[in-house]
Amino acid sequence: MKRLLATLAPVALLGALLAAQQPPLVPAVKEAALSGDFPLAQRILTAAKRQGINPEVLEAESWLGRAQLARKNYAEAAKNAEEVRTECLALLKNRKLDAEPHLPIALGATIEVTGQSLAAQGSRDQAVAFLRAEVQRWKGTSITARIQKNLNLLTLEGKPAPALEVAASIGKVKPQSLTALKGHPVVLFFWAHWCSDCKAEALDMAKLAATYGPKGLRIVAPTQHYGYVAAGEEAQRPAETKYIGTIWNQYYPALQAAAVPLSENNFLAYGVSTTPTLVIVDKQGIVRLYNPGNLTYEQLAARVEKLL
């Protein structure tokens, strides 16, 4: 083996070592980029690209832009996003976006990074126009909610809350429309049956309900179908609906007074590609907080207090 490695050219040697010793491509590039070691991330990508550009390579490459964005290197982030986007669109000439998961993740990342980079550099109107166009361009694909999330981050707060579909639900409480809930501040807790972060948020949500429910706060916990149940086993909707109810009862016992609308359209309207997503709506139906990700009880309570 040593003799073989000694005969390889440097790039080939790097490729051989990566294949033998390194984690899969995407985690390896992600780890290097997020730690700030962009030269290492680029060397890993260069070795991978010698085998050809494919969706996995593009997902890995998109992490350079995401890491640069996190470090507020907006010009570098936008440059990476443009390059990866061009490569994604080239692959899409001969395939559908959602044929596998890597390409939609990569393309979605380029749209996210472009929009956020524009907004961060003072071109908010341009960012909004770009994201609105992308929502329409990729409507009906797996990245629609992700694009809508980024658009909502720029536009939703201070605007009327999008309507909720409430015809289907689980749990003990029949959901009401947001119009019917006017006069009450509302916390929307978007969750997923597979989401560990949502379960971690449950205690803070329960405390919020116990503290402010008697003062008029209403909590609504929208969720949706994903097409599978435990261990990723594919399931038809009736079976998944039953499973969602089981998860709700098991992990959210202190939130049983919350209504749980069941609709994919709610997730699209609110751009829920991150779970949990937390939205606070005031008594007049205006969004006062839009937050993809977890918040602490103290952070939520501080916002709710102002609306009572």
Q: What's the pTM?
A: 0.90
User: Which amino acid belongs to residue 286?
Assistant: I
Q: pLDDT of 29-74, one tens digit each? A: 999 999 999 999 999 999 999 999 999 999 999 999 999 999 999 9
Give the strand pairing for 186-190 and 218-220.
parallel
Q: What is the pLDDT of residue 22?
A: 54
The CA R_g of the chain, rounded to the nearest whole Å, is 22
Both tokens of residue 251?
């992990």
Q: Coil, strand, or helix at residue 38? A: helix
Tens digit of pLDDT for each residue in 178-201? 999 999 999 999 999 999 999 999
How many other CB atoms sit within 10 Å of the CB of residue 50? Answer: 11
Crossing angle (nearest 10°) for helices 144-155 and 102-120 = 10
Q: Alpha-carbon dihedral of residues 15, 16, 20, 21, nearest 10 degrees?
A: -50
Who's near 228: CB < 8 A, 6+ residues apart?
Answer: 234, 235, 240
Measured between alpha carbons, how far is residue 142 from residues 13, 57, 207 in Å?
A: 38, 19, 34
Mean pLDDT (the chain) is 93
Q: Strands across the sheet with 277-281, in order?
A: 218-220, 186-190, 277-281, 287-292
Distance of CA 174 to the CA centre of its chain: 28
Check residue 14 and give its pLDDT: 44
Helix (H, G, I), strand (E, B) or coil at 247: helix
Q: What is the H or E stretch that residue 8 is in?
A: none
Domains in the chain, please, with CATH? 2-155 (1.25.40.10), 169-305 (3.40.30.10)
